[in-house]
Every structure is written in structure tokens, then in C-alpha cells.
Structure 1
Amino acid sequence: MDFLQGQETLTTIEWILRAIIAFFFLLTVAKLLGQRTISQLRILDFVISLVIGNIIAHPLSDENLGLKGSIISTSVLVVLYLGGIFSLLKFPFLRRLINSSPITIVQDGEILYKGLKKARISIDVLLEELREEKVEDVKKVALAIWEADGKISVFLHPKYEPITPSSLQLETEPFDLPRTIIKEGKINLKELNQIHRDEVWVASSLESLYQTEIKNVLLATLDKKGNLRVFLYR
């Protein structure tokens, strides 16, 4: 385990082993930190992600730096991070201190310039965020809030809300997720067994409906009504 320490030179194998250990160690750390760190980068999340990446990167590029110290430092930071998350959940005043409060940037179709300044975003950024929410006109927005994780929450005026079956009091069928029975030319036998079908049925269905073979299918799905949808390699 000498390659964990700082050295003047490292062999190729030692470099590889050092990188492998660092990689799996980071995977373990990411698992411990949870999905929250990856999907919603708030202040605490951003700092821990940035610092851990920095600590691990240096010994991978500098053979004079030992990996042991980086692992110890990262472990301490993980403990501090998890302790910080627990404290934020238990003590609301810490939550208010560390996490930013939501900022109203649009209200009743009017852009609030003070809100934009407080959130430190430009008109261009606001319009971009609205476009991503499929909103082309600010006047349609009843309320837009800049959240602490850097995302925008948009609420349209009721008259601009999309019409849904529930608004028309229409009955709809329960949600059904089609089963993937073929993917990249390979049959999913587990899915077939659950719907009491076999490979012979799949092959004959493809031949009769699409005049093709299993190996030519990129994706094939089957819903509960027995509708087979096939996407061929193009």
C-alpha cells in the first residue's frame, strides 16, 4: 500500500491502483451523501461537492501527494456534511441562516425588478426559465418564485392553465406503463414471463405485423391492452 503515500515516482500499476481506489471511494461517498447532493445543489451541497472533488483530484495528478490524507480529509468532510444536514432538519433557525429564502420575481403578470436584483438574475435568465416551462408570455404568469436551489416555480393564471380531463370531469383509464419486451435486439424474458408470453409469440407477432425479426428491433413495448409498439433500427 506504499502508493497511498506521497512519493517521488510511481509506477504505472501504482497510478492505476491509486485511481481505482479513489474512484470507488468517491462512489461510496456519493452514495452516503445521497441524491440530494447531485440533483439540488444548495449552498451546503455545492460547497461539499466542490471541496471533495478538489481534495481527491490533487493526489491523482501529483505523485508527491499521498492519497491517504485525501481520504481522511474527505471522510471528515462527509461526517461534517451529514451532521450539517441533520442540524438543518432539527434546528429551523440554522435552515434560515444557511438556505436562501424563496424570492418572488413575477406576480400577477408583472416582473418584480427588486426580486430580480435580490435573486441576482437578469431578464434574459427569467425569460429562458419561462420558456423551459413552456410559458411564452409573462402576462400569463400569476406567480413565479426563484427557489433556493436555483430553479423557478411558475404558476399560471387559471384561465391559461391547460385543459385536463379532470377539469372537464371526464373519466380516464388508470395509468399503464407499457412493458419493454425487446431492447436493442434482445428479448426481456423476465417481462415476457410476467405477461405469460413466450419468444414464439414475439417472433410471430413481429413477422405478421412488421415483417421483421427480433434482431432488427431497437425497442418493442406491450401495453395491458395487447398493443405492440415496435421501433426498428434506422
Structure 2
Amino acid sequence: MLIIVVRTLILYLVVIIALRLMGKREIGQLQPFELVVILMISELAAVPSENIGVPLLSGIIPILVLLSASLTLAWISLKSETARDIICGKPSILIDRGKISETELRRNCYNMSDLLEELRLNDIPNIADVEYAILENNGQVSVMPKVQKRPIIPDDLKITPAYEGLPLALIMDGKLKRNNLERSDKDLEWLMRELKKHKLDKIEDVLIASLDSSGKLFIQEKESQNKKKVKPLQTQV
């Protein structure tokens, strides 16, 4: 039993490392050859972990070969546009200037129900509002609404909104994030003063403390058996 556990953990680590080396992508963003590699890696890892009679290297070596092949194809597609078109394919225009392309729908085995579903997922329930719909290589549909149907943006109103930076989590789950505190140009004394304004004496009592680019500090304390649940607090600093 111990041997099976050890073999499984080793294969698990090998698969995790292989997937990390392939890059950060969600399943819906994988290219076809990447999806094939992941499916094959999972099958190759399952056999040695289930059958101790199969040498461990019989699973590890094929995984490394597939990883090498995947990285090689990724490098080739990065360097050559022609190779990229062959390996990954080309996007297909399903709706071109408001007109549905039946040819592209048939070529991609895409029916009208699929198309309408993708439009709804893009917050466009009416197909008449679509100027372009492009089926990307990863299977997702990019939708461009007609000009008169797209949301209004600040440029349309000739206004310039205030800058919105990335909020910084200063405390998470009772732990101080020193790097974020330094990036915010604040110090620990300032943070403790702000906590005391909300009757919090210890960092460990804070669930989350986040500072946005406008200087608003969001604080929520942890729940406890001796305290009632409180609403999140916001202060301008």
C-alpha cells in the first residue's frame, strides 16, 4: 500500500510540473494540441499509479516526451506564423458585418443554437445587434456589437475618469502583507491607527483590509463566538 501511495505522489508531482511548464492557461483557452497533451499525460500517469507491476519510468518517460513535444510545437508556433496556422488553426468569422456565414458554421460543425448560446454568454441576446462574431482557436467566440448597440464609454462623453489602480490587500486572514504595505507608501503605525479607529487592536482580528487607489480603506473583522457579525467598514484616508 505504501508503495502505491509513493508512486502516485511521484507521478502527481511529475504531472503538476509538466502542466506548469506548459504555461498558465484555463481549459477553455487551450490550443487543440495542448488539450491532447493533457489528456495523454493523464492517461499515462494513471497506468503506473494503478498497477505496481508497471515500472514507474514507463509513465514518467512518456510524460517527459509529450512535454518536450508540446514545448517544441509551442516554440515553433511562436516563431512561425505559417506553422502557427497549421498547428493551431485560424479564427473563423461566423458573423461578418451583421450577416451570418452558413459556410463557416458548417465548416466548424457549429449550429445556430450554439451560436445563439455564445451570444447570450457575451451579454448579447439579440443576434441583430452583432456586427462580428469570431470563433477563436480555443473554441471561444469573440463578439463585436454594432456601434449603436455597444455600451457607452467615457470617450463617447468626452470625459476622463479618475485613475483606478490595483487595490492592495494589506491584511488577509489575520496576516500582514508587508510587501503591499510598502507599495502603498504606508507604514505599520498608520495601519494600527486605522484599525484602532474601528476598535480593532490586533491584526489577527482582521479578515481583510484593502486599500484602493483613491485612499479608501476597506476593513472587515473576523467573526467570533463572542462578537456579533459586523458590516464591512470603509474609511477615507
Q: TM (normalized to structure 2)?
A: 0.80
**Partner SS, residue 154 of structure 2:** coil
Q: Distance in 2 between matches of 1:37 and 1:178?
A: 24
8 Å contact from structure 1 (residues 181, 187) kept in 2: yes
Corresponding residue for 1:197?
A: 187
* Structure 2 CA distance for partners of 1:14 and 1:183, relative to 1, 3 Å: same
Corresponding residue for 2:216?
A: 227
Asked if 1:58 is matched to 2:52, the reply is no
Asked if 1:72 is matched to 2:61, the reply is yes
Corresponding residue for 2:225?
A: none
| 1:6-25 correspondence to structure 2 within 5 Å | 12-25=1-14
Asked if 1:99 is matched to 2:88, the reply is yes
**Partner SS, residue 106 of structure 1:** strand
In structure 1, runs of 5+ residues without a counterpart are 1-11
* Structure 2 CA distance for partners of 1:60 and 1:106, relative to 1, 3 Å: same
1:74 partner letter: I
2:150 partner letter: E
**Identical pairs, percent:** 27
RMSD: 2.5
2:152 partner letter: I
Q: Distance in 2 between matches of 1:76 and 1:177?
A: 41
* Structure 2 CA distance for partners of 1:165 and 1:93, relative to 1, 3 Å: closer
Cα deviation, residue 146, structure 1: 0.7
8 Å contact from structure 1 (residues 220, 229) kept in 2: yes
Of 141, 156, 159, the residue aligned with 2:145 is: 156
8 Å contact from structure 2 (residues 48, 58) kept in 1: no
* Structure 2 CA distance for partners of 1:35 and 1:222, relative to 1, 3 Å: closer
Q: Distance in 1 between matches of 2:118 and 2:36?
A: 24
In structure 2, runs of 5+ residues without a counterpart are 223-228, 230-237
* Number of positions where the alignment pairs a residue of Structure 1 with one of Structure 2: 221
**Partner SS, residue 167 of structure 1:** helix
Q: Distance in 2 between matches of 1:232 and 1:135?
A: 40
Q: Distance in 2 between matches of 1:90 and 1:55?
A: 30
Deviates more, 1:174-183 or 1:44-53: 174-183
Cα deviation, residue 142, structure 1: 0.4
Cα deviation, residue 207, structure 1: 4.0
* Structure 2 CA distance for partners of 1:37 and 1:90, relative to 1, 3 Å: farther
8 Å contact from structure 1 (residues 103, 118) kept in 2: no
Q: Distance in 2 between matches of 1:78 and 1:168?
A: 51
Asked if 1:41 is matched to 2:19, the reply is no
**Partner SS, residue 35 of structure 1:** coil
Residues 124-172 of structure 1: CA distance to partner in whole angstroms, max 9, x if unpaired? Answer: 3222222222212111110001111101111111112211112222123
Of 126, 131, 140, the residue aligned with 1:137 is: 126
Corresponding residue for 1:112?
A: 101
